[in-house]
Every structure is written in structure tokens, then in C-alpha cells.
Amino acid sequence: MTTLLDKFQLPASAAPARADRYVCDKCGRDVTRYIHPGRAHVWQAMGPVRFKCKCGASYLTGAAEWDHLGAVERRNRIFQTVGIALLLSTFFTVLVVLVLAIFYNGTHTATILWIITGAPFILICGPFLLSVGASIIRTRF
């Protein structure tokens, strides 16, 4: 008898169908982390279009490369990522300026301000730019 805690398992060849776990059709290896079935209200995963199992079986991943995205989708991803980064950086700038003005009279105020306000921008845009760069390298070279 199965319970609600049991994971729903499908072969990887049925990848667009929703499942908790995907296994290779040939060798039975767990390939769930390479399969990206679509989800509502979420960007399509960016990555290799195909995954090749160690046994040689090849599967569609459900991901798309940067070059396969349309111009509108690329523009939206860039503007939304940079917009969120700027919004958080602005929020932290205001917060840090207020805190430093009230509690701190040191000589390194500008350095602290740059580090704390630049960190959200770097932490959000950095991984995005790395994933776009990796996708471009995979498809063009």
C-alpha cells in the first residue's frame, strides 16, 4: 500500500509529465536533478537542453540555453534581475546611511557604505551573469 509520503517516480523519458523523481530508462539511475519540468509563474530553467546518462541514454531536460530564448525573454530576465538588485541595493543604502548617521562617527563610513550596499547587487547579478556566460559558452563554442 502506498502512502502520501511515497514519492511519485517516472522514467526520465516521460520528463514533461510531473513527478517527484525521475530515473534513467536503461540503468535506473536517479536523474532528477538534471530534469526541469515546467512550472507555472517561474522562468524556464537555463541550462543544457539534453542530459546524457552514464549508461549512454540521452534525455531532454526541459531547460533552455540563453541563445534559444527570444529577445523579449532575454530583455525581461536582464531588466528584472538588475531591477531587483538595484531595488535591494537602494533599500540597503538608505538603511545603512540612517544607521551610520545615528550610531557611527568613524573614518571608514564610505567604505562600509559601499560594501553593504554593493553586496546585494553583486550577490544577485553575479550568479545570473555566470549562468548566462556558461550558457553562451555551451552553445557557441
Mean pLDDT of the chain: 86
78 in the same domain as 49: no
Per-residue pLDDT at 19 exceeds 50: yes
pLDDT value of position 93: 86
pTM, 2 dp:
0.73
Among the three residues 19, 38, 64, which one is the final residue of a domain in this structure?
A: 64
Residue that wins the pLDDT comparison between 130 and 99: 130
Q: What is the DSSP string of 95-113?
A: HHHHHHHHH---TTHHHHH
**Grid coordinates of 27:** 540503468
**Grid coordinates of 120:** 546585494
**Grid coordinates of 39:** 512550472
41 in the same domain as 73: no
98 in the same domain as 33: no
Per the structure, the count of domains in the chain is 2
Amino acid 39 reads R
Which pairing describes strands 50-52 and 21-23: parallel, antiparallel, or unpaired? unpaired
Per-residue pLDDT at 131 exceeds 60: yes
pLDDT value of position 5: 54
The number of CA neighbours under 13 Å toward the Cβ of 40 is: 0
24 in the same domain as 85: no
Amino acid 7 reads K
Q: What range defines the domain where residue 34 resides?
A: 6-64
Per-residue pLDDT at 39 exceeds 80: no
pLDDT value of position 1: 47
